[in-house]
Chains A and B, each alone.
Chain A
Amino acid sequence: MSKVYDVVIIGGGPAGLSAGLYASRSRMSALIVERAKWGGQAGTTEELENYPGSIEMPTGPKLMERMKNQAEAFGAELVKDEVTSIDTSDKTKKIILGSGKDISAKAVIIATGAQPMMLGVPGEAELRGKGVSYCATCDADFFTELEVVVVGGGDAAVEEAIYLTKFAEKVTIVHRRDQFRAAKSIAEKAMNNDKIDIMWNTVVEEIYGDGIVEGVKLKNVKTNEITDFRTDGVFMFVGTKPISEFAKGIVEMDQKGYIKTDEEMRTSVDGIFAAGDVRVKSLRQVVTAAADGAIAAVNAEKYIEKNFEI
């Protein structure tokens, strides 16, 4: 019989890596499966000044590298693969991988996180990689001395707008409301930045350009006035959507696909836990993801002790 892990953790962002750290510290065998990039969304966030203790080296990639090394140092195994389904017909769960293999585990922690949402306006998909971007650290370089629009008003939008001023000549934040949802300290920083202009009560209706972004059509939601706005790039930070497709019909979710849990990170299925951004929760941050991961790992251990002979 092939190996049965105590815990298989799906996703290698802050929630998954924290769960891996806690699980392997308590001597459980833990495997973390990541489909793309270790560190998740935090791995592409340059400014990460709200994770306690990260003031000196506040970049996302560095913090996530340290989290990954820490989990590995305690014995968590890491593998690159995509999970396509979970077979829950037995008490021992089977995690089905995209490579065709499967892994057995006594408990599963889903920590797949979320990914940036598309706005869904004409031109957005066609001009992806040609001026439409969802990752400031990836693409900021291209816009050195050019002008860009940032769409959104949450933490991500405002933080990334500030980051973009290091490259772009001018950054215009387009936000559908009349104030930011972002933390006040960041919002103030943006409003005091000479390179940042803010257009309140405004939405993007269309992105256009011949093979490359040339401009956007904007609508003022108060007056319904449509204006043409020339720009070289459009950065979208209009929210996120959960990466939970593979778990549909297995664990209970809300309408948007976020996984429902109790305070102990238990899902509707015994032995399956969820942690981090993929879960129904009010604050999606690295610090809350890491906390979720720890809680999930501890409760996975309790579950195993109760339900499996050690």
Chain B
Amino acid sequence: MIELTKDNFEAEVMQAEGPVLVDFWGEKCEPCKALMPDVHALAEKYGDKMKMCKLNTTQNRRLAIGQKVLGLPTFIVYKNGEKIKEISGAENCTPEAIENLIKENI
């Protein structure tokens, strides 16, 4: 998975061709960390169809807020520099829901 920062967000997400999934997570977000192995497995499975990225919001707070993300975990699919769909909150961001989010947007 591509690690996003303020230096590469524009190029990797906003200017990318095709759909991009961004996993917004944080160092103190236990549900986010618990999901990480599942997200990595999904990145393996769908990596050839959708670009898979993650953004450490603890290190990139302003960037996350700029994307109107103020709650974790949040998963957003971007296409042509626009948000297509997002899910947020621990009960909503189950491995199944994330997989559906990917499948619906490839």
A contacts, CB < 8 Å to B:
35-39, 43-44, 46, 61, 82, 98, 115, 128-135, 137-144, 211-213, 232-233
**Are the C-beta atoms of A44 and B31 separated by less than 8 Å?**
yes
List the B side residues contacting A212 at CB < 8 Å.
68, 70
Q: Is B91 an interface residue (CB 8 A)?
A: yes
Instruction: Give the size of the chain B interface in residues (CB under 8 angstroms).
Output: 27
Q: From known contacts A129-B89, A138-B28, A142-B61, infer whether A38 and B68 are also in contact, taking CB-CB under 8 Å.
A: no
**Are the C-beta atoms of B34 and A38 separated by less than 8 Å?**
yes
Complex Cα distance A129/B92, Å?
Answer: 11
Name the one of B34, B70, B86 contacting A36, with C-beta atoms under 8 angstroms. B34
Query: What are 22 sample pairs from A and B whose C-beta atoms fall under 8 A apart?
Result: A36-B34, A36-B94, A61-B30, A82-B94, A128-B71, A128-B92, A129-B86, A129-B89, A131-B70, A132-B71, A133-B71, A135-B72, A137-B30, A138-B72, A139-B29, A139-B70, A140-B28, A141-B26, A141-B28, A141-B61, A142-B64, A142-B71
**Are the C-beta atoms of B90 and A138 separated by less than 8 Å?**
yes
Q: Which single residue of chain A is at the shortest CB-CB distance from B69?
A: A129
Complex Cα distance A143/B61, Å?
Answer: 10
Q: Is B65 an interface residue (CB 8 A)?
A: yes
Q: Which single residue of chain B is at the shortest CB-CB distance from A44?
A: B30
Complex Cα distance A46/B31, Å?
Answer: 13
B contacts, CB < 8 Å to A:
26, 28-32, 34, 57-58, 61, 64-65, 68-74, 86, 88-92, 94, 96
Q: From known contacts A141-B61, A142-B61, infer whether A233 and B30 are also in contact, taking CB-CB under 8 Å.
A: no
Name the one of B72, B91, B96 contacting A115, with C-beta atoms under 8 angstroms. B91
Secondary structure call for the A interface:
loop
Taking A44-B90, A115-B91, A144-B61 as known contacts, 12 extra A-B pairs with beta carbons closer than 8 A to each other, sorted by chain A number, are A43-B30, A128-B71, A130-B69, A130-B70, A130-B88, A134-B89, A137-B28, A137-B30, A138-B71, A141-B26, A142-B57, A212-B68
List the B side residues contacting A132 at CB < 8 Å.
71
Complex Cα distance A139/B89, Å?
Answer: 10
Complex Cα distance A299/B26, Å?
Answer: 41
